[in-house]
Copies of this chain bind each other. A is one copy, B any other.
C-alpha cells in the first residue's frame, strides 16, 4: 500500500499552499476566493494522486464544523489563559479547533461573543459564565446547542458543568490556618453572586464557625471586580490602621492574591511573621515571592479534559442527561502559613 496522500502532498505537487488545496477540496473555493482555473488544477491533481478525504473533511459534509467556542471571564488572568491553552490541546486531540473570546466579567460582552460564535456555527460551547448571564444560558438550553459550563455554574439551571469543590477547598484552607494557631483570619473575596465565589466564602465562614475558637470571628472583605486593587489596598490599610489586628489573610483568587501581596510588600509587612497567607490558584508570580506561599491548587487540566470530553460526547450524541462533575482541589502547604510559635 502507498502512504496516504495528504493535502500537503497535493499542495506540493501543484505548487500552492495547503490552505488553497483544503478550500478547493472542501468545495469552499468561492468563499475563499480561489480562482476557477487553479481550483480545476488542484482537483485534477487530487484525482491523479488518488486522494481520499480524511475524517474531518468527511464530517464537514455531515454539517459539523469541528469548532468549539470558548468564552472565558478574562483572558489576561493566567487562570483562564492556562485553561484556554489546555482546552485547545484537549480539543486538538479530538480534531476540534477552539475559537475563544473573553467576556471581561461583563454580561453584555458575553452576549456579543455568544452571538458571534453562534452565527459562526460552532458545534458547541465551553463557558466560564459571568454574572447576569442566566438568560444566555437558558437560551442555549432552549436552542439545544451543546455546551458545558466550567469554573462557575447556575444552581437553578440544569446544565452540564465541570467545577471544583470550592466550598471544600476554602473550608480546608481556613481550617488549616486555624489548626496552625491563627486566630484573626480575614478573607478577601470578590463582591459577586457567582456560585464559585459564594461557595468559597461559605467554606471560609463555616470553618470559622465549626472550629468554635472563641476569639476567631469571620472577617470578610468583598471588593468590586472593577476596582479590586484599590479596594484591597484600602481594606488592608484600614485593617492595619484601625487597630483591628489580623494574623492571617485568605485570598479568594490569584489576582486578589497578587494585589494583596504587592500591597503587603509596600507596607513592609513580613510573611508569615506579621501575617500568614493562603492563596487560591497558582501563578508564576508566586514562585518569586520571598516566602513560599500556601495555595489551593485547582485541577486545571482535569477541568479542561472533562469539559472537552463531555462536550464532544454531547455533540455526537445529543439529548443525553446532563453530566455534572465536581472535582477536588489540593491544599499545597508551604511556609506562608506555618504553625504559630
Contacts and interface: CB of A to CB of B under 8 A. Distances in A.
Interface string A283-325: 1111111100000000000000000000000000000000000
Interface stretch (A79-87, A150-158, A163-171): A79-87
A101 to B, nearest CB: 5
A97 B69 CA distance: 14
Contact of A22 (B115, B138, B285): B115
A198 to B, nearest CB: 24
Range of interface residues on chain A? Answer: 35 or more
A283 B288 CA distance: 11
B32 A143 contact: yes
A11 to B, nearest CB: 8
Interface in A74-129: 74-78, 81-82, 84-85, 88, 92, 97-102, 104, 109, 111-121
A20 interface: yes
A165 to B, nearest CB: 25
B285 A19 contact: no
B139 A20 contact: yes
A32, A76, A118: which has the most chain B beta carbons within 10 Å? Answer: A76
A206 interface: no
Contact of A288 (B77, B100, B289): B289
Contacts of A261: 288
A135 B17 contact: yes
A144 interface: yes
A48 interface: no
Contacts of A234: none
Contact of A76 (B17, B84, B112, B117): B84
A341 interface: no
